């Protein structure tokens, strides 16, 4: 078995989890600069200081055999308040990063929004609750495409966009208008994000016609716990509502019938402004997904209930799987299932843009980490992805890991480490942020440089 000759191997990160330099280079306040974190955790002011250490980190990526790197642009570093002038210092920083990646043989991919936005847009407009912010996002997207599109040929609008349909926090629209049904508001905001995504797709087609753009979902794969038909139906519905709703809009250009019926039944169908249906027709070139874990759901009565509530109540521990310290069940075969399901549903190439396992770690006396568990995790996921390609005929563009150099988690918890490189800092002590290679560093380099052939 083998991967395609032009297969992408690399890593993914967000700006706020890597860059630091929160008040340098003309950057404006981001929502992450002001949003409180758990008192036991860190904050985002330094992260791993990629802003000043990007050359060192890119050299490590090259040593690991990367030929691909997905990073997000910090909106407030490009347009500080979101509605003011372009910050040329911010543009220059990302130009330096892109050029450094290309000089090291690493193809860059830009994510335009990874849950962040200028704080001014949150405070003044309630984030993506406002169509004004949708238009400002389009302007921001066009600036990035005009400045970076001559070298960047892979683009993504929103990280894990299906999460915008589950919670208001990713959209930074947490103020529900008085008297408005929270669910109606949620789906309206989610629709606004869809329109923002489609405006960016349209802009890329105009400005960088030789570039490719994708949609991305955090794919939560659901299994029934028994042969009870109710458990099987709940698992199918969970996959539809959690994953396929967004996949269908990205690839087919319209809301799927099951979602239209559900929203109309509850009175939550969002308002479509003039031109929205046409905009939804700007579909993606391929489907990207993050995959970390699967879920099991039990049988229960679900008739005449909101299926989203049923799904939450039905999730149980999968007795056949081990889990990480954070309770994420480890299911390598699931990545094959996800790749198959998306490819067969959409007939578009798929791309794994996040995969990995977290663990609490400290340096040993040899100034490394013996992380055999991480090697085992990635080996089995890569094997199953290979089976999806070789046996199931899935067209897959690449396998990209999350946080290949340790970064704080999405909750700003330094202890939750995913990387092949250990960054020496704690929640409260920054230290010198020295980088140390873990045992998995040399293993992943061997895998990537052999195009996935050497998994020993």
Do 37 and 411 contact (CB within 8 A), yes or no? yes
The C-alpha angle 442, 444, 445, rounded to 5 degrees, equals: 60
Give the length of the chain.
456
3-state secondary structure of 221: strand
Pairing, β 107-113 against β 294-297: unpaired
Residue 344, C-beta contacts closer than 8 angstroms, at least 6 positions apart:
none
| Interatomic CA distance for residues 204 and 398, integer angstroms | 22
Do 81 and 118 contact (CB within 8 A), yes or no? yes
Question: 58: part of which helix (H) or strand (E)?
Answer: helix 50-63
Residue 261, C-beta contacts closer than 8 angstroms, at least 6 positions apart:
none
Do 138 and 128 contact (CB within 8 A), yes or no? no
Which residue is catalytic, options 100, 160, 386, 413?
A: 160
Which residue is catalytic, options 354, 361, 413, 432?
A: 354
The C-alpha angle 139, 140, 143, rounded to 5 degrees, equals: 90
- In sequence order, which ranges of 267-418 are alpha helices (DSSP H)? 276-280, 307-314, 332-346, 372-390
Q: Is residue 313 annotated as a catalytic residue, yes or no?
A: no
| Interatomic CA distance for residues 418 and 84, integer angstroms | 36
Do 157 and 238 contact (CB within 8 A), yes or no? no
State the catalytic residues: 160, 354
């Amino acid at each position: 078995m083998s991967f395609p000759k032009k297969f992408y191997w690399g890593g993914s990160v967000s700006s706020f989890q890597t860059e630091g330099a929160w008040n340098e280079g003309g950057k404006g306040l981001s929502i992450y600069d002001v949003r409180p974190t758990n008192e036991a955790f860190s904050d985002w002011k330094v992260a791993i200081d990629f802003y000043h250490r990007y050359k060192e980190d890119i050299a490590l990526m090259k040593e690991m055999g990367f030929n691909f790197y997905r990073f997000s642009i910090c909106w407030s570093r490009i347009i500080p308040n979101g509605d003011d002038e372009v910050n040329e210092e911010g543009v220059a920083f990302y130009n330096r990063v892109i050029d450094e990646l290309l000089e090291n043989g690493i193809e860059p991919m830009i994510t335009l929004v990874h849950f962040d936005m200028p704080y001014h847009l949150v405070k003044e407009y309630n984030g993506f609750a406002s169509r004004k912010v949708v238009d400002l996002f389009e302007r921001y997207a066009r600036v990035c495409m005009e400045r970076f599109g001559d070298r960047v040929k892979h683009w993504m609008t929103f990280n894990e966009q299906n999460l915008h349909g589950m919670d208001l926090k990713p959209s930074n629209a947490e103020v529900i208008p008085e008297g408005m049904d929270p669910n109606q508001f949620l789906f309206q905001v989610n629709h606004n994000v869809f329109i923002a995504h489609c405006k960016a797709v349209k802009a890329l087609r105009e400005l960088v016609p030789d570039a490719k753009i994708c949609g991305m979902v955090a794919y939560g794969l659901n299994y029934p716990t028994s042969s009870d038909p109710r458990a099987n139906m709940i698992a199918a519905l969970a996959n539809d509502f959690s994953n396929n709703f967004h996949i269908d809009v990205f690839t087919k250009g319209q809301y799927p019938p099951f979602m239209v019926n559900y929203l109309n039944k509850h009175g939550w169908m969002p308002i479509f402004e003039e031109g929205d249906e046409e905009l939804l027709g700007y579909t993606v070139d391929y489907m990207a997904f993050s995959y970390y874990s699967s879920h099991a759901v039990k049988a229960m009565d679900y008739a005449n209930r909101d299926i989203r509530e049923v799904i939450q109540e039905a999730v149980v521990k999968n007795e056949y799987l081990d889990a990480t310290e954070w309770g994420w069940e480890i299911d390598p075969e699931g990545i094959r299932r996800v790749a198959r399901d998306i490819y067969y549903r959409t007939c578009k190439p798929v791309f794994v843009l996040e995969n990995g396992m977290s663990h609490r770690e400290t340096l040993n006396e040899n100034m490394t980490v013996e992380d055999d568990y991480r090697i085992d995790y990635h080996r089995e996921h890569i094997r199953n992805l290979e089976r999806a390609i070789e046996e199931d005929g899935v067209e897959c563009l690449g396998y990209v890991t999350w946080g290949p150099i340790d970064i704080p988690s999405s909750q700003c918890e330094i202890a939750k480490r995913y990387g092949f490189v250990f960054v020496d800092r704690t929640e409260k002590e920054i230290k010198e942020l020295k980088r140390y290679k873990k045992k998995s560093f040399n293993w992943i380099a061997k895998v990537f440089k052999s195009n996935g052939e050497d998994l020993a």
